[in-house]
Amino acid sequence: MTPAPAEISADRTSVFPRDLDWVYPDIERGEGVRLYRVDGRELLDGCGGGAMVAVLGHARRDVVEAAARQAERLSYVYYHQFTNEPQEELGRRILEVAAPELARVRFVTGGSEANEMALRLARGYHAERGESRWRIISPAHAYHGATFGTLALSGRPSLQAPYEPYLAHHLHIPPSTARLDETGEEALAALDRALEEAGPDTVAAFVCEPVSAAAIPGYSPPIHFWEGVAERREEYGFLVVFDEVVTGFGRTGSWFAYQQLSLQPDIISFGKAAGAGYAPLAGILAAEHVYEAVASGSREFEHGHTWDGAPQLCAVGLAVLEALQSEGLVERVRSRGPSLRDELDAAVGDLDIVREVRGRGFLLGVELVDPRDGESFLPGEVEISTLVDGTALEHGLLITTSHCAADGFVPDQTLFAPAYVASDTELAEMIDRLAATLGDVDSRIKSVLR
Ligand code: PLP
For the residues of 66-119, what is the DSSP string, one character each?
HHHHHHHH-----TTT---HHHHHHHHHIIIII-TT--EEEEESSHHHHHHHHH
- Give the relative orientation of helices 311-326 and 61-73 as an angle to the nearest 10 degrees: 150
User: How is the chain split into domains, by residue range?
Assistant: 7-60+331-449, 74-326
Which residues touch 81 (CB under 8 Å, ≥6 apart)? none
304, 79 in Cβ contact below 8 A?
Answer: yes
Among protein residues, the one whose CA lies closest to atom 15 of ligand 1: 111
Give, in degrees to the nearest 5, the angle at Cα 385 between 384 and 389: 115
Task: Please tell me whether the overall predicted TM-score, pTM, comes out greater than 0.85 for this model.
Answer: yes
Query: Of ligand 1's atoms, which has the minimum distance to the CA of residue 146?
Result: 16
Mutate to test the pocket of ligand 1, among 109, 144, 307 (most ligand atoms within 8 A of CB): 144
Q: Is 358 helix (H, G, I), strand (E, B) or coil?
A: strand
What's residue 77's pLDDT? 97
Q: Is 285 helix (H, G, I), strand (E, B) or coil?
A: strand
Instruction: List phi, psi (to 5°) of 239.
Output: -95, 155
Strand arrangement, sheet containing 104-108: 104-108, 282-286, 267-270, 239-244, 203-208, 135-139, 171-173
Pairwise CA distance, residues 287 & 306, whole Å: 25
Among protein residues, the one whose CA lies closest to atom 8 of ligand 1: 51
Among protein residues, the one whose CA lies closest to atom 12 of ligand 1: 111
Mutate to test the pocket of ligand 1, among 153, 159, 216, 246 (most ligand atoms within 8 A of CB): 246
Query: Of ligand 1's atoms, which has the minimum distance to the CA of residue 112?
Result: 16
Provide residues with CB under 6 Å of ligand 1. Answer: 51, 110-112, 115, 143-146, 209, 213-214, 243, 245-246, 271
Q: How close is the Cα of 5 to the center of ligand 1, in Å?
A: 30
Q: How close is the Cα of 237 to the center of ligand 1, in Å?
A: 27
Residue type, position 180, single letter: L
Instruction: List phi, psi (to 5°) of 144.
Output: -125, 0
Q: How close is the Cα of 141 to the center of ligand 1, in Å?
A: 14
Mutate to test the pocket of ligand 1, among 52, 109, 112, 220 (most ligand atoms within 8 A of CB): 112
Q: How close is the Cα of 441 to the center of ligand 1, in Å?
A: 28
What's residue 2's pLDDT? 67
Q: How close is the Cα of 304 to the center of ligand 1, in Å?
A: 18
Q: How close is the Cα of 298 to the center of ligand 1, in Å?
A: 30
Q: Which residue from 256, 211, 191 is spatially nearest to 360, judged by alpha carbons?
A: 211
For the chain, 450 residues long, give each residue's pLDDT as a single digit of tens. Answer: 666 778 999 999 999 999 999 999 999 999 999 999 999 999 999 999 999 999 999 999 999 999 999 999 999 999 999 999 999 999 999 999 999 999 999 999 999 999 999 999 999 999 999 999 999 999 999 999 999 999 999 999 999 999 999 999 999 999 888 788 889 999 999 999 999 999 999 999 999 999 999 999 999 999 999 999 999 999 999 999 999 999 999 999 999 999 999 999 999 999 999 999 999 999 999 999 999 999 999 999 999 999 999 999 999 999 999 999 999 999 999 999 999 999 999 999 999 999 999 999 999 999 999 999 999 999 999 999 999 999 999 999 999 999 999 998 999 999 999 999 999 999 999 999 999 999 999 999 999 998
Q: Does domain 7-60+331-449 have CATH number 1.10.420.10?
A: no
CA atoms within 13 A on the CB side of 83: 9
Q: How close is the Cα of 142 to the center of ligand 1, in Å?
A: 10
Mutate to test the pocket of ligand 1, among 212, 272, 404 (most ligand atoms within 8 A of CB): 272
For the residues of 35-58, what is the DSSP string, one character each?
EEETTS-EEEESSGGGTT--TT-B
As beta bridge partners, residue 203 has 135
Q: Which residue from 272, 442, 422, 254 is spatially nearest to 343, judged by alpha carbons?
A: 422
Q: How close is the Cα of 145 to the center of ligand 1, in Å?
A: 5
Mutate to test the pocket of ligand 1, among 216, 245, 247, 270 (most ligand atoms within 8 A of CB): 245
Q: State how far the alpha carbon of 53 is from the alpha carbons of 279, 302, 343, 428, 438, in Å.
A: 10, 28, 23, 20, 23
Q: How close is the Cα of 128 to the center of ligand 1, in Å?
A: 28
Q: How close is the Cα of 355 to the center of ligand 1, in Å?
A: 26
What's residue 293's pLDDT? 98
Q: State how far the alpha carbon of 189 is from the alpha carbons of 78, 136, 175, 179, in Å.
A: 46, 16, 12, 17
Pairwise CA distance, residues 74 & 248, whole Å: 27
Instruction: List phi, psi (to 5°) of 4.
Output: -65, 140
Instruction: List phi, psi (to 5°) of 415.
Output: -105, 130
Q: How close is the Cα of 143 to the center of ligand 1, in Å?
A: 7
Mutate to test the pocket of ligand 1, among 115, 116, 143, 249 (most ligand atoms within 8 A of CB): 143
Look at strands 203-208 and 239-244 and give their pairing. parallel
Among protein residues, the one whose CA lies closest to atom 13 of ligand 1: 111
Pairwise CA distance, residues 108 & 94, whole Å: 15
Q: Which fold has domain 74-326?
A: Aspartate Aminotransferase; domain 2 (3.40.640)
Q: What is the 3-state secondary structure (H, E, C) of 67-81?
A: HHHHHHHCCCCCCCC
What's residue 69's pLDDT? 98
Query: Of ligand 1's atoms, which has the minimum distance to the CA of residue 212?
Result: 3
Greatest pairwise CA separation for the chain in angstroms: 69
Q: How close is the Cα of 154 to the center of ligand 1, in Å?
A: 12
